[in-house]
Structure 1
Amino acid sequence: MTDKRFHLAWFMNFTPDEWRAPFGQGGYPWDGQFYVEMAQTLERACFDYIMIEDKLMVPETFGGDRKFSLANGMMAPKHDPAPLAAAMGMATRNLGVVATMSTMAYPPFMLARLSSTIDSLTRGRFGWNVVTSAEDLAAQNFGMDVLPPREQRYAMADEYMDVVGQLFDSWDADAVVLDRENGVYADSTKVRAINFEGEYFKVRGPLNTVPSPQKRPVYVQAGASPRGRDFAAKHADSIISVANGIAGMKEFRDDIRARAEKIGRNPDEIKVLFCITPTLGETEEDAKAKYRRVTTSDHFVNDVLASISAITEIDFSQYDLDKPLPEKLVTNGESGTLDKFQQWGSGKTLRELAAAEGGGLVSSMELIGTPAQVAEKMGEAMAEVGGDGFLITTPVLRVSRHYLVEIADGLVPELQKRGLVRTEYRHQLLRDNLQEF
């Protein structure tokens, strides 16, 4: 890879912003305008895409009830990402917008139709973050008592991807003829039923939407387990990853690329982006003081543990904050996140695990300092890893305008000065911008 540039994206969700902080929006109103303006800020900084995370339940694992989650605005309330993605996309011209939608919750036809519609509304800049859902509480909102085992969820998801792929292909690219003279809008010989009947899904088709600019959305995925990596290597255009240090980033990316090559995919088609949370200051001392102040607060520790509890369905409130975890834990939920969080054998207390890079929710990489210092470290990391870029985020996904400006007007110009990230968009479609380098 000769081009040293890498991609930038942002990982967020449609929940209250950093409402407790001095520079917070305050958590209201819920009209989405704060996040629309966020998208416009990221477009100004030439980010590739903004991704909206989602969960389909009010968490009740931490402490055994929903009190903490609601009192602290942690993962609830959480509004639907798809309408927000459409709003952000229609208020921007170049930024990609990615919505999380679960294969458990959306019938394949509905998801394909919704994705096609938003891709048209955004003129070819929509992406779908493919998730299978990992919480029994979410399953119980869709007629199940518990989730299927992880292996079965991925088997279902593989079939799901086959179904939606056939639906996106059910219209030929030139099916819309707009023949006014003969009164023909679409050529019926170029639109066909798929008559799919598999182990888990049965769908007649065709879609009733016209082919969108990208024909199908960009596929984003975050599989971390061996089965998840296989799924991501097979389907994803971009992969979200949380890794232990630069060596862990390189191992993950090399592994994904090897899995892709094994099944005949060009690994350069897959852009692996690592979650990071830079802490910026006017001086290195300012940044370090800010980092200590944030990560040692009781709010931060409990919010991180509540977030980890929700996605792993393990109640971390039952363990002593100032002692190591008493046992190696397992889950049917997000096992990759749990494995990174535990750091089994490290001797760290639970409080230290929560404070360390957001408790496993971001990659372990010390990015604390001035914008110039952090930009230099990011460039060095990507040079060693080999690509492909970073997702900026925060440990519990809250964001403030203050932090956005630090990134967009502080960090990004330093990255651009070094020739590490784009300074303009050269393509209309999100997929083309991702494949540019």
Structure 2
Amino acid sequence: MHLGWFATTGFGVYGWEDPWAGNVASDLGRPGLFVDLATSLERAGFDYLMLEDSSVLPDVYRGTFESSVRRGTHVRFDPVPLVPLLANATQHLGIVATVATTFYPPFLAARLFATLDHLSGGRVGLNLVTASADGAAQNYGLTKHVEHDRRYEMADEWITVCKELWSSWDRDALTLEPGGAFADHERIHTIDHVGEHYSSRGPLNLPPGPQGRPVICQAGASPAGRAFGARHADTIIAAQTGVDAMRAYREDISRRLLENGRKPEDAKVLYLVNPILGDTDDDAFRKRDRLRQVQSGHVDRVLAALSYFTSMDFSQFDVDAPLPDLSGNNGHQGTVADMVRTGKTLREIATTHKATESIELCGSVETVADRMEEVMAEVGGDGFLIAAPVTRKNVTEITDGLAPALRRRGVLRHRYEHATFRDNLLST
């Protein structure tokens, strides 16, 4: 079983004023919390830590920034400068940073992540998103975000350019001959890419990193997102609800991989979960019920999230009326569709939606470990992506409680067999 940790608000704020949030004010903008997370994940045998990112402070909901900053949920520091610090503190863990393909020039991204691959010793990954908010697009000079499926068309060409750039030096281009040439110039090539959306001459002005190219991570629930992931991703994040939907997603991705000349095992599908752990099952159930009670009293938070995902102000709608028409949504289509399935009114959605759960995992570490093993056997997937808030209590419960229970069952690695992130990720 492969495991990753999804830092859902990236290099940002977690659990402002919540119990067990730690020294959240003094952690703000500092690497210590995330270094603690990375070293703990490596000790536990995780494949990677993935850092989400966003470049907008939303003011769609009620036309103000209040919902974005009240709990700090949309405060984001750029995750890329954090990557070398996390890599320096670890030896095996993959470190994945998020880049919005719509806003990054492909040459800039290819050069930056080739550099990080060298700095990390072959342990960097690139999580590709197309971004969703009009406000983010406006920060980069657009008046409105690019249409959803067109964003994926652009992303497909974007990663093609990056791959060409990462291959612009042959793997044996470096000669490093004492008293001779540093590199063989005949093994370095321009790419001369001229496409519909991007042009780049190339080559990169640095040799390929230990992995050749970074690990590519992608989350896409829409048909366009699934097609993109099957063409390019080494690991795919899925948030399908329920075992049947999880199995169907894995089967669909496997079929798409084969259609693209790849093998099903070429991309590891990890399902989003947020385990609720207790010393006993009853302790965990009581904890779950308390969390649900808190959620039921904060309808505004879910409405603000829907506003962000769709660039539509949900404060204008009656929360007890049938759902409004969301067919014009140009944002996170898969996420919104999943939320809509949980209820018929906005209040029902707000009080029952579980944003990061493919399945409910609740109980003692033994109960949860049993359930994780059972579900993977049923689904035929590859593992789970933990999406718990980054607090030191959550980290300890998962890495020193749940992970050892999985290891005792023989479903989680005891050691890393390979030197690079990709080789460890794609191992069976």
Partner of 2:84: 86
1:274 correspondence with 2:271: yes
Partner of 2:350: 354
Counterpart CA distance in 1 for 2:120 and 2:306 is: 33
2:124 pairs, out of 123, 126, 129, with 126
Contact kept in structure 2, 1:74 and 1:306, CA below 8 Å = no
Alignment RMSD (CA, Å): 1.7
Q: Give, in angstroms, the shift of residue 193 of structure 1.
A: 1.2
Q: Give runs of ≥4 in structure 1 deviating > 6 Å.
A: none
Instruction: Kindly report which structure 2 residues correspond to 1:27-46, keeping only aligned pairs within 5 A, or say none.
Output: 27-28=25-26, 29-46=28-45
Contact kept in structure 2, 1:116 and 1:216, CA below 8 Å = yes
Contact kept in structure 2, 1:135 and 1:147, CA below 8 Å = yes
1:426 pairs, out of 413, 417, 422, with 417
Partner of 1:200: 197
| Structure 2 alignment gaps of length 5 or more | none
Counterpart CA distance in 2 for 1:309 and 1:414 is: 39
Partner of 2:387: 393
Counterpart CA distance in 2 for 1:355 and 1:373 is: 26
Counterpart CA distance in 2 for 1:127 and 1:8 is: 15
Partner secondary structure for residue 81 of structure 1: coil
Alpha-carbon distance change, 399 to 320 in structure 1, aligned in 2, over 3 angstroms: farther
Counterpart CA distance in 1 for 2:82 and 2:110 is: 17
Partner secondary structure for residue 176 of structure 1: coil
Alpha-carbon distance change, 424 to 316 in structure 1, aligned in 2, over 3 angstroms: farther
Counterpart CA distance in 2 for 1:414 and 1:59 is: 40
Alpha-carbon distance change, 384 to 152 in structure 1, aligned in 2, over 3 angstroms: same
Counterpart CA distance in 2 for 1:209 and 1:300 is: 50
Contact kept in structure 1, 2:49 and 2:96, CA below 8 Å = yes
Deviation readout 1:374-429 (Å, 9 max, x if unpaired): 111111111000121100003xxx32100111111111111111112112111111
Partner of 1:367: 361
Q: Give, in angstroms, the shift of residue 227 of structure 1.
A: 1.2
Contact kept in structure 2, 1:103 and 1:160, CA below 8 Å = yes
Partner of 1:295: 292
Counterpart CA distance in 1 for 2:11 and 2:165 is: 28
Deviation readout 1:271-313 (Å, 9 max, x if unpaired): 0111100100112221111112123215764434433321222
Q: Give, in angstroms, the shift of residue 130 of structure 1.
A: 0.9
Amino acid at match of 1:49: Y
Partner secondary structure for residue 295 of structure 1: helix
Counterpart CA distance in 2 for 1:290 and 1:317 is: 30
Contact kept in structure 2, 1:243 and 1:362, CA below 8 Å = no
Alpha-carbon distance change, 93 to 434 in structure 1, aligned in 2, over 3 angstroms: same
Counterpart CA distance in 1 for 2:246 and 2:203 is: 41
Query: Normalising to structure 2: TM-score of the pair?
Result: 0.95
Q: Give, in angstroms, the shift of residue 30 of structure 1.
A: 1.3
Q: Give, in angstroms, the shift of residue 352 of structure 1.
A: 4.0
Deviation readout 1:151-206 (Å, 9 max, x if unpaired): 21111111111111110000111212122223x21221111111111111111111
Contact kept in structure 2, 1:285 and 1:369, CA below 8 Å = yes
Contact kept in structure 1, 2:4 and 2:384, CA below 8 Å = yes
Instruction: Kindly report which structure 2 residues correspond to 1:115-264, keeping only aligned pairs within 5 A, or say none.
Output: 115-182=113-180, 184-264=181-261
Contact kept in structure 1, 2:16 and 2:71, CA below 8 Å = no
| Structure 1 alignment gaps of length 5 or more | 1-5
Counterpart CA distance in 2 for 1:351 and 1:86 is: 43
1:22 correspondence with 2:55: no
Counterpart CA distance in 2 for 1:313 and 1:259 is: 30
Amino acid at match of 1:252: Y
Q: Give, in angstroms, the shift of residue 265 of structure 1.
A: 1.2
Partner secondary structure for residue 176 of structure 2: strand
Q: Using the aligned pairs only, state the percent identity.
A: 43
Partner of 2:315: 317
Amino acid at match of 1:231: F
1:70 correspondence with 2:61: no
Partner of 1:378: 372
Deviation readout 1:70-92 (Å, 9 max, x if unpaired): 122011x2001111122111211
Instruction: Kindly report which structure 2 residues correspond to 1:85-124, keeping only aligned pairs within 5 A, or say none.
Output: 85-124=83-122
Query: Normalising to structure 1: TM-score of the pair?
Result: 0.93
Count of residues in Structure 1 that have an aligned counterpart in Structure 2: 423
Counterpart CA distance in 1 for 2:358 and 2:169 is: 45
Contact kept in structure 2, 1:275 and 1:363, CA below 8 Å = yes
Counterpart CA distance in 1 for 2:230 and 2:261 is: 10
After superposing the two structures, state which structure 1 stretch, 312-321 or 233-242, moved more: 312-321
